[in-house]
Structure 1
């Protein structure tokens, strides 16, 4: 996929522009704001642009809103990427095993997938974090548990269509082990449709992490956008910027991930149509 073809789509241009800003925030956060973002930086409830040393003001405890915004981007991106990677890895393995093995193995794995799909993803994440305790790792695992079913079903469908092709039959004839055939010959060819779900999973993971943090179930040692929105809820009338600023950042991040994913899918579809 050429960059020229990719950036012909307005969705990709907008999405990657937003993602570029998000990545810059992540990289520059420890440089521009080396202090602990949870430390007190000034007088409480300073309004934006009232003090140019604290351009976006401070919260109820006097913490720098701009520093929290930059460090919160690190948490959101880390959770989104880690949850997407774990979900795609688990889903691809389960879908490949189910589609290649067939029979009782396929039936059992698909019923387990159905069981996970019957529970709303956010409720599953909420229950796990409530029981185990809030931390970044637990949040990633909780989100992944509710997101792997989509990749699993797509991987299974792709494997079912690939496993009878000639090159797979040739691999059986020459004596390759079934596991080697499944994960070396079939899975790489089944991955592209699965990877197309990445943007959706990342966006959903960012929103879920923010919702958990808003409810007080995020990592207490990290600044999160959801936690910043919850912090501003108590003074919403007198200082609405405390919730509005991280809320806008959250919307833009999710929109950027989604638009970038749409741009990649549209560019890939255009390439296949021209082939």
Structure 2
């Protein structure tokens, strides 16, 4: 672990991404403390431009709500959806890929055809259809994004398992009578998981963008403040108050860029570790 951290810290991209994500995460977690007000509350004169009033550093929207408060609470929704969707996709994909790789035969063939069926549908369209049917909420969006993202981890996990199951230590485990489930979770899965984890950054970034797109289309959680919803609310005032869309747009861009940079550092550290192993 110390060697991995040292390799990650040697990556400028990884450090930059980690700092951006740390800042966003702190803002999201500490939002009720640093900005205890209700993000939906009308607190000032409508359409105050940024930096014109010390009480509202980023101005107010068309209803008089504080843009800074809404921006920070929007980070909560985006990071929650991104991380939760990645967790769902990694868990589901790794489980399916591990079972397919170890079982082989008809089980492998059947599971891979299911993966193909999900993979031919674009993730955003799948999420759009799922949310339209099930109704907009953060939990539904997490499941919808996870349904569109689990196929990548499944294929990668299967490929790793197919390679690992032929190695000597797995054969030794079979010889001593270890149960197949124990072989899968003690011998195979820990070694197959690191390459799969390299997909986390891609899944999180895609989930943040999909959530923003759904909110922009009016399919986001109506009870949560989201960056996509803020952009959508400001689009009718682009000429008179462009900051209403630009500010949450910059928040969205910074989150996605930070995630990708962090992912680059993570992949680099994992690949170096793999080469040296």
**Maintained 8 Å contact 2:4/2:270:** no
Q: What TM-score do you get using the length of structure 1 for normalisation?
A: 0.97
TM superposition shift of 1:270: 3.4
Of 13, 16, 31, 2:15 maps to 13
Unaligned runs of 5+ in 2: none
Alignment partners' CA distance in 2, 1:53 and 1:34: 14
Question: Which of 48, 51, 66 does residue 50 from structure 2 map onto?
Answer: 48
State the 1:126 CA deviation.
0.2
Report the equivalent of 1:154: 156
Residue 258 of structure 1 is matched in structure 2 by: 260
Is contact 2:4-2:269 (8 Å) kept? Answer: no
Paired residue for 2:248? Answer: 246
How far apart, CA to CA, are the structure 2 residues paired with 1:185 and 1:269? 20
Map 1:11-90; keep pairs closer than 5 Å: 11-90=13-92
Residues 17-26 or 107-116, more deviating: 17-26
Provide the C-alpha distance between the structure 1 equivalents of 2:168 and 2:9, rounded to a whole number of angstroms.
36
Q: CA deviation at 1:272?
A: 4.5
SS in 2 for 1:234: helix
User: 1:149-187, CA deviations, whole angstroms, 9 ceiling, x for partnerless residues?
Assistant: 000000000000011111211221222222221222211
Deviations 1:60-98 (A, max 9, x none): 111110001111111111111100011000000000000
- Aligned counterpart, 1:179: 181
Contact 2:195 2:270 in 1 (8 A): no
Change (3 A) 1:18 1:232: same
2-structure distance, mates of 1:44, 1:94: 52
Q: Where do 5+ consecutive residues of structure 1 fail to align?
A: none
Q: What CA distance in whole angstroms lies between the structure 1 residues aligned with 2:260 and 2:5?
A: 18
3-state secondary structure, aligned to 2:237: coil
- Partner of 1:219, secondary structure, is coil
1:103 to 102, 105, 122: 105
Aligned residues: 275
Question: 1:7 offset after TM fit, Å?
Answer: 2.2
Q: Give me the TM-score of the superposition, normalised by structure 2.
A: 0.96
RMSD: 1.2
- Higher mean C-alpha deviation, range 141-150 or range 72-81: 72-81
| Distance of 1:131 and 1:87 partners within structure 2 | 20
> Which 4+ residue blocks in structure 1 deviate beyond 2 angstroms?
1-5, 267-275
- For residues 177-256 of structure 1, what are the structure 2 equivalents within 5 Å? 177-256=179-258
**Within 2, Cα distance between the matches of 1:67 and 1:183?**
44
